[in-house]
Amino acid sequence: MSIIALIDKLFIYPRPWVFTGAGVSTESGIPDFRSPGGLWDKVDPMENFSVRSLYTNPQGFFTHGIEMFKSIEAAEANAAHIVIGELQSKRIFGPLLTQNVDSLHQKGGAFNIYEAHGHIRTATCLECREITVSLAELMKKVADGEIPPRCDCGGILKPDVILFGDMMPDDFQEACNLTRCFNSEDKMIIVVGSSLTVAPVNSFPLDFNEICIINNSSTALDKQANIIINGSAGESLLDLKNKLVELNAGEEIKAFPPGFIPGVMINYLDKAIKKINPILMEADKLVNKLFTDISSSKKILSQYPLMDKRQTIEKAIIENLYNKVIQMENHLKENYNPEDKELAQLPEYLYNVLAANFKLIIRYKSQNIIDEKVLKELILQFLGVTGFYIFSMGLAFIH
């Protein structure tokens, strides 16, 4: 799937979350865990990067750890980190949740960062929990042969990363709480460079209505994803940025105004259309309300404030959304006619057909007397689910 499909979604879901994994940093020279030749091939992470190994095999932990810390310290942000930071500052991308511990997003100019697995900028004493030293100080202790490196109180100094066996940090909880606060709103997440196999962070994207994945191999959430861009993190994000600049008539994009979120109207209309259920007796009212909403959305978009002062990309977004509203209006006109006599009879017709079927099933299964109330509930639930499906099929089957 293409970057264009992602841009189309960006217009509708403003400020998507970005969620990154080790694959966003391989182009900076830091190996990931699971690619061939990645860290997994060289060391057993359970053996070397777990809380247990910190106590039972500190030599292994710090010897392998130090190798990784050194390569991380020397690494520079790559195109992927830089584009993510830039698009955040243009108010095109929203907050960032990263599994990486390398601080390259900070180096690349990103902000509003939640570090799901901590970071290695500092290390904290496991005993007193009060003393925190910098990575440089920790590395010096290890280089001087102090393994494990210790605090003055005698406790082991542990890098502030989340190891196998550790509790998840506040950052992860906060990111989860924040997204759940907005559960009533439609939202999108862009996952970059993660195999999505490490729990519990890999279920974070499931809180979003739209999932876009940019990765150079398959991931554990490909089936749930709406858009999959199979490619390099850096190249794909640069491509995205260049296409956005093209949409802005080749000019550098200025930050979008804080309240520039016309896409929410499309979400609202889309949701409302999906709610239409021929079984609801007030379906006609709902459709009439939708036609009114559609015409006010058209009006708002066609008279969008400060239109003449907006940069080209903002005009393009509004034009694109206007066209989408027209498409929705046409779809609704083609598929739903409140005057349709046959349609008005549909609820009763469906109810009777399904009631007969349910009765048969229940009688067959239990041979018991059927509770009409339960039966009615079952049927209504079933129809609620099928309602939109029937509607979107253009009600073909009754003709």
Among 233, 346, 383, 390, binds ligand NAD (CB under 6 A): 233
Residue number, 98 or 320, with CB nearest to ligand NAD:
98
Q: How many residues bind ligand NAD (CB under 6 A)?
A: 29
Examine residue 23 and tell whether it contacts ligand NAD (CB under 6 A).
yes
- Shortest distance in whole angstroms from residue 360 CB to ligand NAD: 49
Residue 391, burial from CB neighbour count under 10 angstroms (0-12, 13-18, 19+): buried
Kindly write out the interface string for residues 155-194 of this chain, putting x where it contacts ligand NAD by CB under 6 A and - elsewhere.
--------------------------------------xx
With a CB cutoff of 8 Å and minimum separation 6, the contacts of 28 are 75, 76, 77, 78, 81, 102, 104
Candidates 18-26, 124-132, 316-324, 336-344: pick the segment binding ligand NAD (CB under 6 A).
Answer: 18-26
Examine residue 216 and tell whether it contacts ligand NAD (CB under 6 A).
yes
- Shortest distance in whole angstroms from residue 84 CB to ligand NAD: 13
- Shortest distance in whole angstroms from residue 46 CB to ligand NAD: 12
DSSP 259: T
- Shortest distance in whole angstroms from residue 95 CB to ligand NAD: 18
Examine residue 195 and tell whether it contacts ligand NAD (CB under 6 A).
yes
Candidates 1-9, 209-217, 299-307, 360-368: pick the segment binding ligand NAD (CB under 6 A).
Answer: 209-217
Rg (CA), the chain: 27
Strands 188-192 and 157-161: unpaired
- Shortest distance in whole angstroms from residue 232 CB to ligand NAD: 4
- Shortest distance in whole angstroms from residue 20 CB to ligand NAD: 7
- Shortest distance in whole angstroms from residue 192 CB to ligand NAD: 7
Residue number, 91 or 117, with CB nearest to ligand NAD:
117
Which single residue is written with the structure tokens 């940019």?
Answer: 214
Strand-pair partners of 213: 191, 228
- Shortest distance in whole angstroms from residue 31 CB to ligand NAD: 6
Long-range contact pairs involving 172-179 (C-beta distance under 8 Å, separation at least 24) = 172/97, 172/114, 172/116, 172/200, 172/201, 174/114, 175/95, 175/97, 175/114, 175/116, 175/204, 176/204, 176/207, 178/95, 179/17, 179/204, 179/207, 179/208
Please state, in angstroms and rounded to a whole number, the distance separating the CA atoms of residues 151 and 138. 10
Contact 46, 61 (CB under 8 A): no
Residue number, 39 or 113, with CB nearest to ligand NAD:
39
**Nearest Cα residue to 263 out of 187, 331, 330:** 187
- CA dist list (Å): 287 to 37, 183, 209, 390, 399: 57, 25, 24, 15, 21
Among 217, 242, 323, 327, binds ligand NAD (CB under 6 A): 217
Q: How many CB atoms lie within 10 A of CB 339?
A: 7
Residue number, 82 or 151, with CB nearest to ligand NAD:
82
Which position among 64, 81, 105, 117 bears the catalytic label? 117
Token duo for residue 295: 């015409």
**Residues in 25-64 at the binding interface with ligand NAD, rule: CB under 6 A:** 25-27, 30, 32-35, 38-39
Examine residue 88 and tell whether it contacts ligand NAD (CB under 6 A).
no
Task: Name the strands in the sheet holding 227-230, side by side, starting at the edge strand that comes first in the sequence.
Answer: 113-115, 96-98, 17-20, 188-192, 210-215, 227-230
**Residues in 301-330 at the binding interface with ligand NAD, rule: CB under 6 A:** none
Residue number, 193 or 278, with CB nearest to ligand NAD:
193
Residue number, 27 or 86, with CB nearest to ligand NAD:
27
Q: How many CB atoms lie within 10 A of CB 103?
A: 20
Examine residue 102 and tell whether it contacts ligand NAD (CB under 6 A).
yes
Catalytic site includes residue 64: no
Question: How many angstroms from the chain centroid is the CA of residue 380?
Answer: 32
Examine residue 221 and tell whether it contacts ligand NAD (CB under 6 A).
no
DSSP secondary structure, 190-219, as one string: EEES--S-STTGGGGGGGSSEEEEEESS--
Residue number, 77 or 301, with CB nearest to ligand NAD:
77
Indicate which residues carry an active-site annotation.
Answer: 117
Which residues form the interface with ligand NAD (CB under 6 A)? Answer: 21-23, 25-27, 30, 32-35, 38-39, 99-102, 117, 193-195, 197-198, 215-217, 219, 232-233
